Every structure is written in structure tokens, then in C-alpha cells.
Amino acid sequence: MKEEAKHSIAQQRSHRRVRNATLALLVIAAVIGGYIYIQSIPPPPGMYDDFAKCIAQTNTKFYGAFWCPHCAAQKRVFGDSAQYLPYVECSLPDESGELQVCVDDGIKSYPTWTFPDGSRLSGELSLATLAEKTGCALPNQNLASSTVDVTVGSSSAAQ
């Protein structure tokens, strides 16, 4: 009888551990899901119009490709204001190569941003980094860090 009691207690502990681990995983999944959802919400229409126009006036260039998910994510941060970005499409329509302007400018990965001081950064950039590099003011500093900086491009220029 004593062995049965020990076995029963051990089983109960095991079940509690499994239940607690399952609950912890569900909470983690919910937090990650909530974060991803919040990050996918576009800014209000026109919120970054002036910021994007200012970037374009600084002779900054944003090189990308229509098939590049990181380029799409970078544009998504700007919402409707992305239409004012100084975007340069590098991919041929059939994805068979790169446009000569991008080859001439030495673009190796997407997205790549080039700045008036001659510097370039590849990857998705935060609005705060773009503001710092271009001297353009953000409309709302609280939303400035909606994208994590990446200094190495994630998408190859050639498929």
C-alpha cells in the first residue's frame, strides 16, 4: 500500500509539471502572438507623409525588390506614407536579375538604404535610425522604434 501511495504522489507531481509547462507555453505563445499582431497594425493614414517626403528630399535612397519580405515590412512601417519614400526597385519583373541602376550602385542585399553622407545600411531600419541618418523629424517619438535595426541584409540580391 505504501508503494501505491508513493506512485500516486509521483504521478500527481508529474501531471502538475506537465500542466504547468503547458500553461507556460500557452502564455508565451499568447504574448508572442500579441506582439506580432501589434507590430502588424499599420500607422494611421498619412501619419508619416512629411517624414517620408523629408527623407526623399535628403537624397537618401531605399533599394529593394518587390519579392523581398523585408522590403515589404520596411514599407509597412510607413503605412500609406510609403508612397513618398525614395524607393528604387532593383528586381526585373520576372525576378531573373537586377536592374542596372542597382548593379551600378553596388546593391548586394535588400533592403539597402544609402544616405547623403555616403554611408549605407542594409536590413529593416527603425524610424529613429532613419530620422538620425537623414536629419528628418519624426511626427511621434513614441512610435519611432517600431522596427528593430538590422545592419546586415536578410534578402539576397540574386535569387
**Tens of pLDDT along 56-68?**
999 999 999 999 9
| Average pLDDT value for residue range 152-159 | 43
In this prediction, residue 35 has a pLDDT band, given cuts at 50, 70 and 90, of low
CATH number for the segment(s) 49-156 = 3.40.30.10
Q: Where are the domains of the chain?
A: 1-41, 49-156
What are the tens digits of pLDDT across the range 71-80? 999 999 999 9
Cα–Cα nearest to 110, from 97, 129, 96, 124: 124
Global pTM?
0.65
Distance CA 78, CA 76 (A): 5
Distance CA 78, CA 86 (A): 12
Secondary structure (DSSP) of 34-63: HHHHHHHSPPPTTTTHHHHHHHHHTT-EEE
